[in-house]
């Protein structure tokens, strides 16, 4: 059920309660736009990854190597995200997915969080190795490559900027599949800034230890981003209540005439879509259609199942 749904006759009620399949938003209202841009950014990052890695090996810069390794993780993350878009779109009509393919994006986001965490470990290990075995850095060769990598990352961040689509207005997380790769790129921009600062400090001030320190700091920052993304992507996968505020509003509307909401479950189906199951008890209950009508206008409710129990023990059920 969405705010834009027109009134329907009772015999058409079941269709009206499954708007998730009707509007075909897949992983969000901007699915096609985000999928197309994700493939474009994947190609850009793949070329940049090869350049950064080659530059780091030639100049022996740990900061540049860290930026290259992180960019390589982005290529993997972007491929996962693009694949999730393609899979969700192609399988959206598959009735084997009881509530559509909206959670594919959360699964991809969690996988990308794991990739981000592995990247942090790789950067940490390489940086620790440089502490034990320092190497001379070709700062003049490393600087233009680091600046180029930062510029490319900023362009990719701009290309993957989220939009204020309708589906996101009642879902603060929005398209988490896009948010995951956007976070990857934001972390990479931070790593690139550390790399540029370390190269400049080592070249002009002679503070060569900052190159290794930049790798250690970058590892910590990437690990923090990975943990935050794991938490955000894991919540819908575990069906954790996405909105106590929306839950309270549903409960208040269903109990507006003195009824008791015996049981209530709210979970996220996909970006901008939620499902509700509720059991209502009343001495003299209204028809189940009346309770569905009370939830009209609540943005983000795409599938509603209600059970009504009367004082005589008779139950009414609709979904």
pLDDT tens-digit readout, 184-196:
778 778 777 777 7
Model pTM? 0.71
- The winner for highest mean pLDDT among 2-11, 90-99, 139-148, 203-212 is 90-99
How confident is the model at residue 98, as a pLDDT? 78
How confident is the model at residue 264, as a pLDDT? 95
- The winner for highest mean pLDDT among 22-31, 80-89, 110-119, 188-197 is 80-89
What is the pLDDT confidence band of residue 130, given thresholds at 50, 70 and 90? low
SS (H, E, C) the chain: CCCCCCCCCHHHHHHHCEHHHHCCCCCCCCHHHHHHHHHHHHHHHHHHHHHHHHHHHHHCCHHHHHHHHHHHHHHHHHHHHHHHHHHHHHCCCCCCCCCCCCCHHHHHHHHHHHHHHHHHHHHHHHHHHHHHCCCCCCHHHHHHHHHHHHHHHHHHHHHCCCCCCHHHHCCCCCCHHHHHHHHHHHHHHHHHHHHHHHHHHHHHCCCCHHHHHHHHHHHHHHHHHHHHHHHHHHHHHCCCCCCHHHHHHHHHHHCCCCCEEEEEEEEEEECCEEEEEEEEECCCCCCHHHHHHHCCCCCCEEEEEEEEECCCCCEEEEC
Mean pLDDT of the chain: 77
What is the pLDDT confidence band of residue 312, given thresholds at 50, 70 and 90? low
Q: Mean per-residue pLDDT for 48-71?
A: 74
Q: Mean per-residue pLDDT for 211-219?
A: 74
Q: Mean per-residue pLDDT for 37-53?
A: 86
């Amino acid at each position: 059920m969405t705010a834009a749904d027109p009134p329907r006759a009772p015999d058409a009620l079941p269709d009206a309660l499954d708007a998730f399949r009707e509007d075909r938003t897949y992983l969000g209202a901007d699915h096609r736009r985000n999928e197309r841009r994700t493939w474009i950014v994947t190609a850009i990052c793949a070329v940049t990854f090869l350049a950064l890695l080659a530059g780091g090996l030639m100049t022996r810069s740990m900061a540049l190597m860290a930026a290259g390794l992180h960019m390589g993780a982005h290529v993997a993350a972007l491929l996962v995200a693009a694949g999730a878009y393609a899979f969700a779109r192609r399988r959206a009509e598959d009735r084997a997915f009881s509530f559509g393919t909206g959670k594919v994006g959360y699964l991809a986001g969690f996988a990308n969080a794991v990739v981000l965490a592995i990247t942090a470990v790789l950067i940490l290990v390489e940086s620790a190795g440089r502490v034990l075995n320092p190497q001379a850095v070709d700062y003049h060769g490393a600087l233009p490559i680091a600046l180029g990598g930062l510029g490319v990352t900023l362009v990719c961040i701009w290309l993957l900027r989220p939009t204020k689509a309708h589906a996101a207005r009642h879902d603060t997380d929005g398209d988490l599949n896009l948010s995951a790769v956007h976070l990857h790129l934001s972390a990479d921009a931070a790593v690139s800034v550390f790399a540029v600062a370390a190269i400049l400090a080592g070249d002009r001030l002679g503070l060569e230890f900052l190159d290794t320190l930049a790798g250690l700091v970058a590892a910590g920052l990437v690990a923090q981003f990975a943990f935050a993304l794991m938490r955000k992507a894991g919540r819908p996968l575990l069906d954790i209540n996405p909105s106590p505020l929306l839950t309270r509003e549903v409960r208040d509307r269903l109990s507006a005439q003195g009824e008791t909401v015996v049981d209530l479950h709210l979970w996220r189906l996909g970006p901008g879509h939620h499902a509700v199951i509720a059991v209502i008890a009343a001495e003299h209950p209204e028809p189940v259609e009346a309770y569905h009508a009370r939830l009209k206008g609540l943005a983000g409710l795409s599938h509603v199942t209600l059970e009504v129990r009367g004082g005589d023990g008779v139950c009414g059920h609709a979904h």
